[in-house]
Structure 1
Amino acid sequence: MLHCLRTVARTIVYSGIILATGLNAATAADPTGDWKVADGVANIRVAQCNGNMWGVVSWEKTPGGKDKNNPDVAKQSRPTLGMPILIDMKKKPGVDAWEGEVYNAKDGQNYSSTIKPIGTDQLEIQGCVLGFLCGGETWTRVGPPIPSSSSNSMAKGAPKGPAGAPPKTAAPAPAQPKTTGAVNPAPASKAAPGQKQAAGQPGDIGDICLLPDIARFAH
C-alpha cells in the first residue's frame, strides 16, 4: 500500500513539472507586452493586431520627442510617443520568431527585422540593411503579456449593422475592458484643487491596434 502511495505521489510531482514546463514554454514564446530598449530611452509596447505583431513607443525618457529625421517632411512633426517601431511582423513557420520591418528613428529608415523572445523577460531584435550589415539588441520586459481580444477586429473599423437598422441606444461603457494592444494602466491620482497635470507627462497610450498608423495599415 505504501509503495502504491509513493508511486502516485511521484506521478503527481512529475505531472506538475511537465505542466509547469509547458506553461513556461508558452509564456516564453509571447512577444507581447511592454519592453525597455537597450539604452533605456524608451519602452516599446508590442501587441498582436490582425494576426501580426506591431510595436509602438509607449513611454519615452525625454517627453516631447518628434520624428524629425523622417524623410517624409509631413511626418517630421509627428510625436515619437505612439509611433510604430515594429511594423506588421509575421510569425515565422516552425519557430518562435516574427519577421517584418523595424523603423529606425535615428535615420528615418525602415529595415528588415526579426524579433525573438528569449525566456520570459527578454526580446531579441535583429535588423538588417539589404540583407546584410545585420545588427541587433536585447530588450527587457517591463510589462506583462497582452491578452488577445476583440480589438483585432476593431483595428479594421467598427462592424456595420444591417441596412436600415435603427441606431441602438448607447449603453453605459464597461469599466476598463482588456484589449489586445493595451495593458492595465495605473489608477489615476486626483490632483489637488487648482493643480494641473505635469506638462510632458501623457497618460497611457492604450490599445495600440487602434492607433491611426496601425488601423489604417490594417484595412
Structure 2
Amino acid sequence: MLHCPRTFARTIAFSGLFLATVVAPALAADPTGDWMVADGVATIRVAQCNGNMWGAVSWEKAPGGKDKNNPDPAKQSRPTLSMPILIDMKKKPGVDAWEGQVYNAKDGQLYSSTIKPVGTDQLEIQGCVLGFLCGGETWTRVGPPIPASVAGNPPKPGAPKSAAAPQPPKTTGSVAPAHKPGQKQAANTPADIGDICLLPEIAHPTPTQ
C-alpha cells in the first residue's frame, strides 16, 4: 500500500478544499426585502413580481404622505405609503444588477435606474436623466429577502400543474400589523402592506406613473 507523508497528505486535503471553494458557484445577490433609504425617511419593499423587480414604500417616517408633486393631478392625492418606487426592473445578463425606472416623489419624475446589491445588507440605486446627470444613493437592509410571490409570478403557459399545488400566500414579506383597521399609522412604526405584487399599480402596471 502506498503511504503518503503526513505533510503531503495535508497539502492534498487543503488543495481539495481550495478547489471546491473556487469551483462552487457564488450565491446570487438578492435585492428583495425591505430597505431603508439613505436619508431614513422611508423603507422600500422590493419583491419579484411577474419576473421583474418592483419596489414600493413599506414605511414612512412621517405618516400620511401624499404624492403631491406628481404631474398627473389625478395622482396628487394618492398616499405615498405602498406607492411603487422601483418600476419593472429587469435583470441584466451576467451581472447581479437590474435595470428599469425609479420614481422620485420629490419632483414627481421617472428616471432610468439600475439597482445593484452590495454584499447582503446594501443596495446601490443609480438614476439618470436622459442618460446623463446621474446620481445615486445606497439603501440599507432592514428586512430579510422575500420569497417569490405565487400571486405575482404565475406559472408559464403550458407548464404542468401540480396535483397538490400550494395556495398563494396571503402576503409576501409582510410584517406584523402595527395598527388596527381605521387607525392612522403611528410615527416610526412599520405598516403591513403585505405582498406588493398584489398592489393594483404593480399587478396591472401602466406605462407611466
- Counterpart code for 1:213: E
- Identify the residue that residue 160 of structure 2 maps to in structure 1: none
Q: Partner amino acid for 1:22?
A: A
Contact preservation (8 Å) 2:66, 2:78: yes
Q: Deviations over 1:154-187 (max 9, x none)?
A: 6xxxxxxxxxxxxxxxxxxx8x9475xx21423x
Alignment of 1:62-141 (within 5 A): 62-141=62-141
CA RMSD of superposed structures (Å): 3.2
Secondary structure at the counterpart of residue 134 of structure 1:
strand
Higher helix share: 1
Q: Amino acid of the residue matched to residue 92 of structure 1?
A: K
Deviations 1:135-161 (A, max 9, x none): 11111111111122422246xxxxxxx
Q: 1:20 to 1:94 in 2, by over 3 A?
A: closer
- Give the Å deviation of 1:118: 1.1
Are the structure 2 counterparts of residues 148 and 196 from structure 1 closer, same or farther at C-alpha, using a change threshold of 3 Å?
Answer: closer
Q: Which stretches in structure 1 are left out of the alignment for 5+ residues?
A: 155-173
- Asked if the contact 1:32–1:46 (Cα under 8 Å) also holds between the matched residues in 2, the reply is yes
Structure 2 unmatched ranges of 5 or more: 155-166
SS at match of 1:185: coil
Distance across 2 between alignment mates of 1:133 and 1:71: 21
Aligned residues: 189
Larger mean CA deviation between 195-204 and 113-122 belongs to: 195-204
Q: Rate the CA distance shift 1:184–1:15 in 2: closer, same or farther, 3 A.
A: farther
Deviation digits for residues 95-137 of structure 1 (CA, Å, limit 9, x no counterpart): 2111111101011111111111111111111111111111111
Any idea what the Cα deviations from partners look like across 1:37-95, whole Å, max 9, x if unmatched? 00000000111111111111000011110001111111111100000001011111222
Whole-angstrom distance in 2 between the partners of 1:126 and 1:196: 37
Give 1:4 shift: 8.0
Partners of 1:35 and 1:20 in 2: how far apart? 29
Q: Distance in 2 between matches of 1:19 and 1:5?
A: 21
Contact 2:84 2:103 in 1 (8 A): yes
Pair 1:31–1:197, CA change in 2 (3 A)? same
| Letter of the 2:77 counterpart | S
Residue 207 of structure 1 is matched in structure 2 by 195
**8 Å Cα contact 2:149/2:195 also seen in 1:** no
